[in-house]
Amino acid sequence: MCGIVGILSTTKKDTAIYIYDALTILQHRGQDAAGIVTSHKGRFYMHKSNGLVRNAFRSKHMAGLLGDMGIGHVRYPTAGSSSGAEAQPFYVNSPYGIAFAHNGNLTNTKELEQELFEQDLRHINTNSDSEILLNVFASELGKLEKQRINEKDIFTSITQVHKRVRGAYVAVGMIPGYGIFGFRDPNGIRPLILGKRTTNGGTKYMLASESVALTALGYKITRDIAPGEAIVINRQGNIFTQQCSSVSKYSPCIFEFVYFARPDSVIDNISVYKSRLRMGEKLAAKIQQDWSSEKIDVVIPIPDTSRVSALQLAQKLKVKYSEGLIKNRYITRTFIMPGQKQRKKSVRQKLSAIELEFKGKNVLLVDDSIVRGTTSKQIVQMARDAGAKKVFFASASPAVRYPNVYGIDMASNKEFIAHNKNTDEICKAIGADKLIYQNLDDLIWCVQQGNTDITEFDCSCFNGKYVTGDVDKNYLQGIEDLRSDDAKQQNDTNANSELICNDVE
């Protein structure tokens, strides 16, 4: 899961600072690396680095990012290493010069890499599927053999991309001297939204992963980019759109609404906030039905993502709601930490319990989900150490039992605490007195109520059904080999060794 931004201004040359601000707003989508590329007088100006946006950029970097258009990216690693070599945006010199940022994960990467080498005669320099997607697009655009391009040429190339590429992908790109563009995969698994801001100084257009990046910076939301659709905005501010896939259907990732997206975002006309309210209502109804004999004294959310659901749940149960766990806001999100040891360390640093809210009480802890169980187990123990009489645990989503192959770091089902366990066994593993999960049908209902035109969601991490239809056991084993914690640690070791060798040379 990553965050992407593209901005074009019809007059101002201050695009970089707006991209910086938008990336900061989207920081929750990726904390491994950040990058910005701008264009001025036909040249690219780029800076990217590991770490948070605020650490990756200094005043001297921003001063060098010239231009009236640009794209930005915050990275969340799912494959390869966390080295700076795979920070985005990427760019290629031919044809025309193309800068590119991608969110998602391709499912036919190996085939594409071989095609690019043997047929397209293009070289891939990293383990990132984003670089592969860029080169597929660049190769298709180059086949047109035109000195000057227009929006139709970009649409033609993206149409060919859809024919060759499978998986989850949403991208923004930029061609110097021409403009910016964006496109979304035919299933619409990852989000992309368009906005516009008009001032006395001109008009700015933005493409971003979430609506909050637009609204927080004064942009007016225009609309979501549809599955399979492409959009081009040229230097004059003219907008062109076209459906570039012969088959397309809304199948957005439901985990965006459970965990990844900010509650103040609207994705595909669905309010994330209201979806989470409904999750709390449905979970409360299940607790009332299944736990009628249990006395709950206080509902405490595990901050931050579960707050909305927990508050609504407490209101429906008519039980006291308390912020009994305090989060150190300077610690990043533990789920998207690249390694298990780092996650464990971060949980201990991230949260502290207010003993007054736990001591002698039957406490219901509410979280958005349980993936590896690392956080859950430590927080249950934290509640007991604070004097809780009983510790109940509720998940606003179903049990995560299957890998997510579309850009979320859920690679190996062996790393999931729910792997080969029923609810009672999971409860015992995290040390709770009782555990309850949201039903999948209820979760789908909670999200779908925001936009009933969407009839299908990607729920693969809960039900093992992959909407692209090309994921089998062999593919899942390959993903596990590439993206497990052990594999990432080895990749990082190799990347660091390469950097040391390069320094010596």
- The residues assigned a catalytic role are 2
The helix (H) or strand (E) run that includes residue 206 is strand 202-208
Closest to 129 measured CA to CA, from 163, 106, 98: 106
Token representation of residue 20: 């910086």
Rounded to whole angstroms, how far apart are CA atoms 352 and 331? 12
Token representation of residue 16: 């970089």
Calculated CA dihedral for residues 127, 23, 403, 225, nearest 10 degrees: -100
Give start and end residues of each alpha helix (H) in 386-435: 423-430
* Residues 6 or more apart in contact with residue 123 via CB below 8 angstroms: 117
Q: 146 in helix, strand or coil?
A: coil
Amino acid making up residue 4: I
Strand 390-395 to 362-367 pairing:
parallel
Q: Do the Cβ atoms of 366 and 300 come closer than 8 Å?
A: yes
The span from the first CA to the last CA of the chain, in angstroms, equals 35
Let me know the angle formed at the C-alpha of 399 by 438 and 402, rounded to the nearest 5 degrees: 140
Q: 18 in helix, strand or coil?
A: helix
**Length of the chain in terms of residues written:** 505
Residue with tokens 């390869």: 80
Amino acid making up residue 24: T
The helix (H) or strand (E) run that includes residue 385 is helix 374-385
Closest to 1 measured CA to CA, from 210, 276, 260, 269: 260
